[in-house]
Structure 1
């Protein structure tokens, strides 16, 4: 089955971008607030009102570092008829709910070489968001254009930009989380970065609240992977100048120097990573179409129920069910995004140009 999504194209400053999303996805944002009003007690042992209070120091820290991104949140609230703090609860979803050891989250991969540069990402999150995606194409006053699909009410965290950079992210679970700039805010900021070096700087900002994995590539065929915890980070860099190179990541720390911060014991994450590596080793070869390879990996079910293409577990309570809510493959040489809402096994990818 295919899943609906809202398409938004906007040119303007950050507040205008947020307002356009809020106006176009007003119904979906209201549904997201309603979902979390019921689900947060299970997911975070908080009422929604308690969560609105809990996120305030995070947003104030974000305002210190990225006031323009907070203006985007304010625009979304204005456009959707909600409050900043309701939108902030969605923005701080990782900070509020990703403190234990969940079953799964995202899978990201990158393949460069043979004149191609491709990044792919399955956005695995709570199933309540699968029919509330927004396909956003935004152009900012400085000329930056980015294209992303994300659930309504959330800041875009993954995507491709006119600077020839694309990136995905994977939630990580460390023992040094703290009040700081929310991960989604840093990811949204990174979408505007003009170089991989700037992506690194923004994702590793010293005032970040928590850890994440950030896997990016540029049209020059360079791959950058950055693992962060709340207080530490580790980098891996690959280049197609060395031939065809690929990398994959899920939701466990891989860098030995960050192993001491790991709190996840997720077998799901390990199985997805092992399967992605197996497929990339078999398929990401010179002469292959790397967009097709990435899409094939992201559709894979071989390790079900711990599969790369995720589907909700009907045995779990509704608010705890996770699935692939969106799938994106970014072709950096062509400047295109291949995208679908929901699990990619259920829909054809649409193609959107930057």
Structure 2
């Protein structure tokens, strides 16, 4: 099993978006339907969702007009209104506005071994199981000669990815007391702009600081020479560098002491701490130069152990069902992604997709 791939041929943002929207129309419509169902179960009305989508598009246009143009192009190609594609890109912001809760989410590990050796990274990407068909792998050139490859969802501008400037990003959701319904720049657009424009961790952090947000997330930026988890919230942005041992790991709680005072996972999703401890306990295997070894080091199932590898409880409503949809490693020297469809418990040498 592999994820669908798409390679853009257009440089102009609107044209690039229209090409994607036209050729991936069915998947984008299915993703929009899946999110509409999720928002409804979580308590949002269609009128609220539209208003939030329109507001996210306005904030996006103010912050990065070319990305708003790309969203409009996707909409034109898919036969949708721009606000509908904006909803897909702003799903984190809409869920924060609803104050959605639930157990689950992603775990990320980065190890910089030093001596000129490339970073060793891996993450699980957990999401609601009814959206397991949403992901795709997308290659694009935001400008000639600069290639971005991203694991994302149909209609969303980016998520986890790499660029040919030597930078990659991992992506985990966070929740903070300052999250609000005053919709800001979607965090998925921040990830895309980092992939488009950044070659260093410092540049990535600067891009994150330039956006006014309404929801929290952590983007872990990685290069050959350094890494940092960029914790983003309406209360501020904090940069957590790798430790002296070259290790940087993150789950779904804030590591910055000041931002941690507004932490929401402490009561809503306490497994984030158990997952973080699992990563710390398996750092040696997570330091391996073999991506399969790193993925298998993430293998841990709840309830007896940390639920790093998640499987949905079908007795729960869709907003409370979580699945490890993908396991992803970054290959920075090659500017490629190694992607396995599913959780670590299904990983073998043969199940990786190189993109």
Which residue is 1:345 aligned to?
345
Give the distance between the partners of 1:304 and 1:170, measured in 2 at CA: 23
| Structure 2 counterparts to residues 44-193 of structure 1, below 5 A | 45-98=43-96, 99-114=99-114, 115-177=117-179, 178-192=182-196, 193=198
Q: 1:329, CA displacement in angstroms?
A: 0.4
Which residue is 1:270 aligned to?
273
SS at match of 2:8: strand
Q: 1:237, CA displacement in angstroms?
A: 1.9
Q: 1:51, CA displacement in angstroms?
A: 0.3
After alignment, is 22-31 or 61-70 more displaced? 22-31
Give the distance between the partners of 1:60 and 1:90, measured in 2 at CA: 15
Provide closer, same or farther for how the CA distance between residues 227 and 153 of structure 1 changes in structure 2, counting only shifts above 3 A: same
User: Is 1:23–2:22 an aligned residue pair?
Assistant: yes
CA contact (8 A) 1:5 1:132 kept: no
Q: 1:297, CA displacement in angstroms?
A: 3.1
SS at match of 1:113: coil
Provide closer, same or farther for how the CA distance between residues 344 and 139 of structure 1 changes in structure 2, counting only shifts above 3 A: farther
User: Is 1:230–2:234 an aligned residue pair?
Assistant: yes
SS at match of 1:46: coil
Q: 1:306, CA displacement in angstroms?
A: 4.8
SS at match of 1:55: helix
CA contact (8 A) 1:164 1:218 kept: yes
Provide closer, same or farther for how the CA distance between residues 304 and 70 of structure 1 changes in structure 2, counting only shifts above 3 A: farther
What RMSD over aligned residues (CA atoms) do the two structures have, in Å?
A: 2.2
SS at match of 2:220: strand
Give the distance between the partners of 2:21 and 2:300, measured in 1 at CA: 34
After alignment, is 122-131 or 288-297 more displaced? 288-297
| Structure 2 counterparts to residues 235-274 of structure 1, below 5 A | 235-238=239-242, 245-264=246-265, 265=267, 266-274=269-277
CA contact (8 A) 1:129 1:151 kept: no
Q: 1:54, CA displacement in angstroms?
A: 2.2
Give the distance between the partners of 1:312 and 1:304, measured in 2 at CA: 16
Structure 1: unaligned runs, 5 residues or longer = none
After alignment, is 203-212 or 263-272 more displaced? 203-212
SS at match of 1:163: coil
SS at match of 2:112: strand
Provide closer, same or farther for how the CA distance between residues 234 and 141 of structure 1 changes in structure 2, counting only shifts above 3 A: closer
Q: TM-score, normalised by structure 2?
A: 0.89
